[in-house]
C-alpha cells in the first residue's frame, strides 16, 4: 500500500470544507499502483470519472433491477438505480460535510458486479459456483474495478483509491475477506468503513425500496390500495391527497414517493448527527473503531422500513409473475454455465483466453471463475441472445453463431 498522497498545487481539493472525520483525498490511504496526482481534480473525482468511463458501468444500462430488461423501457435498470443512489448519497454527504466525490464514486460503482437478471441471476450463478468458491456481487464489483476492466497500460482494473474500494465492498464473509488483502482486513478486524461508505449503503436502501414501489405499480403487481396498509406510504398519501385533491394517479405516486424518500433522508441525517455528536469523532480512524455504525436511522424509522420491506418481499419480489421471470432467468444462467464448463471451446475467444489464464493459476476453479466473470458481465439481452445461439437448433447458421 502506498503512503498517503501529497497533493500538488494543481490538484483540486475542498478538504477545508470537510469535517475532521470525513475522508480527505489529500490523506487517502492510496492506490494499489502508484500514479502521479491528477491535475485540477482530486483523487476521488478521478475514481468517479474512471468508473463512469468503464465498460462495466455502460453495461448497467441493460441489466435489470427487478424486472427483466426487455419487459419495458420505463422500468429501472442497474444504471438508473446507481444514478439515483448517487443523487441521494451526494445530498446527504453535502449536508454532513463529508466527501461528495468519494460518495458519488462508491454509489456509481456499487452494482458493477451484478449479474444479468438481478438477484435471480446472482443466486443462480452462486449455485453454479458452489464448488468453486461461490459468487457474490459485492466481491465481483471489487473484482471488476481491481482486475477485469482492461483499459490502462500500467495496470489491470481501474486502480481506484482504497476508500472507494472499501465502500464498494459493503459486506463479505470472513473466508472471502482473507483473500481480499487491504479492503478485506476490516472484516477480520471487525472495524467499520468510513462514513461516506456507510451513507452510500443506506442511500442504496432508500433508493430501491421507494423506486421498486414505482416499478411495481407500473407493472400492475401492487396497487395504491395495497400500499395504504403501509405506514410510510399511507402517511405521505394523506399529505398529498389533502394538498392536491383529485390528483391523477401518476402524479400521486410521484408525489408520495418523493416525500417518502425525503422523510427517510431527513431521518438518516438527523439520527446520524446525534450519533456523531455522542461519539465525539475527531478523525476517520475514530469512525472505523466505533462499536456500531454512526450512520443510522431512528428506531421508529427502522420499524417503518421493515414493514415496507416485508410488504415488498411478499407482494412484489415473490409475486408469481416476477417468479416466472426469475425462474426463466435462472435457467438461462445455469444452462450457460453448464454448457461453457462442459465445452470451453464454445466460449468467445477473449473469454476463453481469460479462462485459460486463470486455469494456469487455479486449475478447474480458475476455469469456473473465468466463466462466471463472462456471465456476470453479460447484460440481460446479451445473455438471452447467447442462450439462443447455443441452444436453439434454428440458430445453426455460421453468422448467427458469431457473438
Same domain, residue pair 98 and 141: yes
pLDDT of residue 392: 84
* Residue 335 within any structural domain of the chain: no
pLDDT tens-digit profile of 208-234?
A: 999 899 888 988 899 999 999 999 999
85 in any annotated domain: yes
117 vs 96: CA distance, rounded Å:
35
Does 212 lie in the same domain as 188?
no
Nearest CA to 375 out of 347, 343, 345, 342 is that of 347
- Is 113 a member of any domain? yes
Residues 160 and 216 in one domain: no
Q: Within this chain, do residues 185 and 240 fall inside the same structural domain, yes or no?
A: no
| Same structural domain, 251 and 190 | no
Q: Where in the sequence is the domain holding 110, given as residue range(s)?
A: 15-195
* Domain shared by 60 and 189, yes or no: yes
- Hey, how many other C-beta atoms are within 10 angstroms of the C-beta on 365? 15
Q: Domain total for the chain?
A: 2
| DSSP letters for 60-121 | GGGSBSSS-GGG-TTS-BHHHHHHHHHHHHHHHHHHHT--HHHHHHHHHHTTTTPPTTHHHH
- Domain with 123 in it: what CATH number? 1.10.3210.10
Closest C-alpha among 123, 142, 119 to residue 197: 142
Rounded to whole angstroms, the Cα distance separating 354 from 54 reads 18
Residue 344 lies in a domain: no
Helix (H, G, I), strand (E, B) or coil at 170: coil
Q: Let me know whether 25 and 163 are in one domain.
A: yes
- Which residues have C-beta within 8 Å of that of residue 177, sequence separation ≥ 6? 184, 185, 186, 187, 188
Identify the bridge partners of residue 161 per DSSP, sorted by sequence position: 31
Q: Does residue 397 lie within any of the structural domains?
A: no
Q: Does 296 lie in the same domain as 150?
A: no
Q: Is the separation of the CB atoms in 139 and 176 below 8 Å?
A: yes
| pLDDT in the model for residue 366 | 95
Enumerate residue ranges in the chain where pLDDT < 70.
1-15, 65-75, 395-403
Contacts with 64 (C-beta within 8 Å, 6 or more apart), sequence order: 75, 77, 78, 116, 117, 118, 380
Same domain, 33 and 168: yes
> Same domain, yes or no, for 46 and 163?
yes
Tens of pLDDT along 52-100? 999 999 999 988 766 554 444 446 789 999 999 999 999 999 999 999 9
Q: Is residue 336, in this structure, part of any structural domain at all? A: no
Residues 6 or more apart in contact with residue 393 via CB below 8 angstroms:
none
10 Å CB burial of residue 95 (0-12, 13-18, 19+) is middle
Assess if residue 349 is contained within a domain. Answer: no
CA-based max dimension of the chain: 69
Beta bridge partners of 64: 77
Picking from 162, 195, 228, the residue at the C-terminal end of a domain is 195
- 2 occurs within a structural domain: no
| Residue 159 and residue 31 share a domain | yes
Do 147 and 291 fall within a single domain?
no
Residue that is last in its domain, among 195, 230, 245: 195
Domain boundary among 195, 216, 244: 195
Amino acid at each position: 500500500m502506498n503512503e498517503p498522497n501529497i497533493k500538488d498545487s494543481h490538484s483540486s481539493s475542498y478538504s477545508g470544507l470537510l469535517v475532521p472525520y470525513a475522508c480527505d483525498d489529500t490523506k487517502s490511504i492510496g492506490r494499489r499502483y502508484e500514479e502521479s496526482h491528477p491535475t485540477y481534480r482530486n483523487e476521488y473525482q478521478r475514481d468517479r470519472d474512471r468508473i463512469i468511463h468503464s465498460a462495466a458501468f455502460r453495461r448497467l444500462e441493460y441489466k435489470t433491477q427487478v424486472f427483466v430488461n426487455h419487459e419495458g423501457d420505463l422500468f429501472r435498470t442497474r444504471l438508473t438505480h446507481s444514478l439515483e443512489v448517487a443523487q441521494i448519497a451526494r445530498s446527504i454527504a453535502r449536508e454532513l460535510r463529508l466527501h461528495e466525490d468519494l460518495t458519488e464514486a462508491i454509489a456509481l460503482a456499487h452494482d458493477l458486479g451484478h449479474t444479468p437478471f438481478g438477484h435471480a441471476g446472482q443466486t443462480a450463478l452462486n449455485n453454479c459456483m458452489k464448488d468453486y468458491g461461490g459468487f457474490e456481487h459485492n466481491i465481483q464489483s471489487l473484482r471488476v474495478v481491481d482486475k477485469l476492466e482492461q483499459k490502462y497500460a500500467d495496470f489491470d482494473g481501474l486502480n481506484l483509491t482504497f476508500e472507494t474500494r472499501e465502500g464498494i465492498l459493503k459486506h463479505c464473509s470472513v473466508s472471502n475477506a482473507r483473500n481480499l488483502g487491504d479492503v478485506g482486513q476490516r472484516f477480520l478486524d471487525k472495524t467499520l468503513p468510513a462514513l461516506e461508505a456507510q451513507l452510500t449503503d443506506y442511500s442504496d436502501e432508500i433508493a430501491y425500496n421507494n423506486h421498486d414501489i414505482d416499478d411495481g405499480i407500473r407493472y400492475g403487481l401492487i396497487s395504491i390500495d395495497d400500499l395504504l396498509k403501509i405506514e410510510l406510504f399511507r402517511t405521505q398519501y394523506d399529505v398529498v391527497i389533502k394538498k392536491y385533491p383529485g390528483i391523477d394517479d401518476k402524479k400521486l405516486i410521484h408525489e408520495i414517493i418523493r416525500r417518502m424518500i425525503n422523510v427517510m433522508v431527513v431521518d438518516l441525517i438527523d439520527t446520524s448527527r446525534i450519533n456523531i455528536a455522542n461519539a465525539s469523532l475527531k478523525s476517520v480512524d475514530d469512525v472505523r473503531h466505533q462499536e456500531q455504525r454512526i450512520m443510522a436511522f431512528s428506531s421508529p424509522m427502522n420499524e417503518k422500513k421493515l414493514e415496507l420491506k416485508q410488504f415488498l418481499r411478499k407482494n412484489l419480489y415473490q409475486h408469481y409473475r416476477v417468479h416466472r421471470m426469475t425462474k426463466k432467468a435462472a435457467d438461462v444462467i445455469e444452462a450457460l454455465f453448464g454448457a461453457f464448463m462442459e465445452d470451453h471451446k464454445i466460449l468467445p475467444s477473449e473469454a476463453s483466453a481469460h479462462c485459460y489464464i486463470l486455469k494456469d493459476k487455479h486449475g478447474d476453479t480458475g476455469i469456473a471463475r473465468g466463466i462466471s466473470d463472462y456471465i456476470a458481465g453479460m447484460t440481460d439481452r446479451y445473455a438471452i441472445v447467447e442462450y439462443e445461439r447455443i441452444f436453439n437448433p434454428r440458430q445453426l447458421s455460421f453468422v448467427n453463431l458469431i457473438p
